[in-house]
Structure 1
Amino acid sequence: MSTVEHLVVAPPGNRLVLVNGEEGAGKSTIIRALLRHTPRGARIDAEDIGQTNPCPMDDEFFDLLRRNVAGLVESFWTAGYVNVIAGSFLRNYPDYLAFRRLLNQSPTVFLVELLVDKEVRDHRRVTRAKRTTQEWRDMVDLIPEDRTIRQAAGADYRYVGVDTTGLDVAETVRRIKAAIPEVYARVTRPR
C-alpha cells in the first residue's frame, strides 16, 4: 500500500513564527531554512529590510523597524500566506507588545528564541558570510541579554527556546518544527 503525506489541518486563522536571539544565534539562517518547510508561508528578516547608514540601533530606529515588519506581515496575510516567519527586530518583551499593537489581526503567535553559548556565538559572528566589524560587535555586546521575552507572564504567544550551541541548521529546524505542530505537522495516510 502506498502512502500520501498531507498537512494536518491547523486551526483557522493566521500564524506568526517570530525568531529571536542575540547576534550570531542564527536567526537569519533559521528564518531562511524554515521557509521551505512552511506551508503557505512567507519570511521577513528585518536585517534585510532594516539596513541603514548609519544604523543607530536606538528606540526610534526599532520603532521604524517594527512598523515596517508589521506592514509586511499584514500584506502577506492579506495575500493568503497564512504562516509568516519574521525575526531580527525584537529586543525585549516591551518591543513585542509594541509590535503586536501594530497588527490589525490576532494571529496565533509562536516565539522561537535561539540560544547559544557566547563562545560559539562569537565564532559564528566572525566566520559567517554576513561580515561585521569589531566596532559593531563591541557595540552589540553592550546590549544586555534580554530574558523578558522568555519570562513574560501572561504572554499571548507560545515560547519555544532552542539551544543551537551544538546543533546544525537541519537539527535546529527539526526541533522547531516538532515544537510547532500547528504549522509544521504532517500525517501520512494510506491512499
Structure 2
Amino acid sequence: MPDSDQHASSPREARLIVVNGEEGAGKSTIIRALLPHTPRGARIDAEDVGQVNPCLMDDDLFGLIRRNVALLVENFWRAGYANVIAGSFLREYSDYLAFRRLLPPPSAVFLVELLVAKDVRDRRRVTRAKQTTQQWRDRVDLIPEDVTIRQAPDADYRYLGIDTTDLDVAETVRRIKAAIPEVYAA
C-alpha cells in the first residue's frame, strides 16, 4: 500500500487491537498469526522495537517503548492500514492510559488479554524462539500480575480475556476473530 495521505485511514476506520499478557502467554505468536487474517492490517511487537542494552525494565524504558509503539500505530493508520495489532508493551492499566494519550482517537480499541496457567507459561518460556535466561524469567516473575486492565470501569476498549492454557494458536486466533466482527467479519 503506498504511503500517501490519499490512502490514509479515516478516523472511523482506524482500529487498534492490543494483545496483552504475561511473558510466555503467547503475545508475539498470536499477533504474528492474526496478521494474515487482518484486512488492511499491520502488526507491531514491542519486544522487537524495544530491544535495548542494557535493558533496565524501568519506567523510562516503558515510556520510550509506549512512545515508539504509538508513533508506529499512527504511521500505519496514516499509510492506510486501518487495523493495527500491537502487543508486548503494557504492564498495567496506567500504561494503557499513558499510551492512549499519545494517539489520536481510533474508531475502536480491542484489548485481548492472553491468560495461561503458570506451569504452561513456564514451559512455553523455555521452549519458545525468544529465549530468555533463568535470571531474566525470575526478574520478570517478580512483577505482580495486573488485573486493573480487565477491571477498568471507565475503559475505552472492549476487553477480551482468553485462557490459552489448553488452546493451540489456530483456536486462539479463531476466538479472537469471532469476538471482533468489526475487523474479522467474513
Whole-angstrom distance in 2 between the partners of 1:105 and 1:98: 13
The answer to whether residue 12 in structure 2 is matched with residue 12 in structure 1 is yes
Whole-angstrom distance in 2 between the partners of 1:119 and 1:142: 16
- Please identify runs of 4+ aligned residues in structure 1 that moved more than 3 A: none
The answer to whether residue 59 in structure 2 is matched with residue 69 in structure 1 is no
Contact 2:12–2:107 under 8 Å retained in 1: no
Task: Give 1:25's aligned amino acid.
Answer: A
Map residues 85-124 of structure 1 onto 2, 5 A cutoff.
Answer: 85-124=85-124
Aligned to 2:7: none
Task: Give 1:149's aligned amino acid.
Answer: I
Q: Find the structure with the greater CA-based Rg.
A: 1
- Pairs aligned (count): 176
Aligned to 2:80: 80
SS in 2 for 1:114: strand
Aligned to 2:157: 157
Higher relative contact order (CA 8 A, sep 6+): 1
Whole-angstrom distance in 2 between the partners of 1:175 and 1:152: 22
User: Offset at 1:139?
Assistant: 0.2
The structure with the largest strand share of the pair is: 1
Q: Tell me the alpha carbon deviations over residues 4-41 of structure 1, each in whole angstroms, 9 at most, x when there is no partner.
A: xxxxxxx9321000000000000000000000000000
Root mean square deviation of aligned Cα: 1.0
Aligned to 2:133: 133
Contact 2:110–2:159 under 8 Å retained in 1: yes
Whole-angstrom distance in 1 between the partners of 2:158 and 2:151: 11
* Seq. identity, %: 79
Task: Give 2:165's aligned amino acid.
Answer: T
Whole-angstrom distance in 2 between the partners of 1:16 and 1:138: 31
SS in 2 for 1:73: helix
Whole-angstrom distance in 2 between the partners of 1:124 and 1:157: 28
More deviation, 100-109/177-186 = 100-109
Aligned to 1:43: 43
Length-normalised TM-score, structure 1? 0.91
User: Offset at 1:154?
Assistant: 1.2
Note the residue ranges of structure 2 that are not aligned, 5 or more in a row: 1-10
Task: Give 1:32's aligned amino acid.
Answer: R
Whole-angstrom distance in 2 between the partners of 1:77 and 1:155: 22
Q: Tell me the alpha carbon deviations over residues 93-146 of structure 1, each in whole angstroms, 9 at most, x when there is no partner.
A: 000000000002333100000000000000000011111000000000000000
Whole-angstrom distance in 1 between the partners of 2:130 and 2:153: 35
Task: Give 2:63's aligned amino acid.
Answer: D
Note the residue ranges of structure 1 that are not aligned, 5 or more in a row: 1-10, 187-191
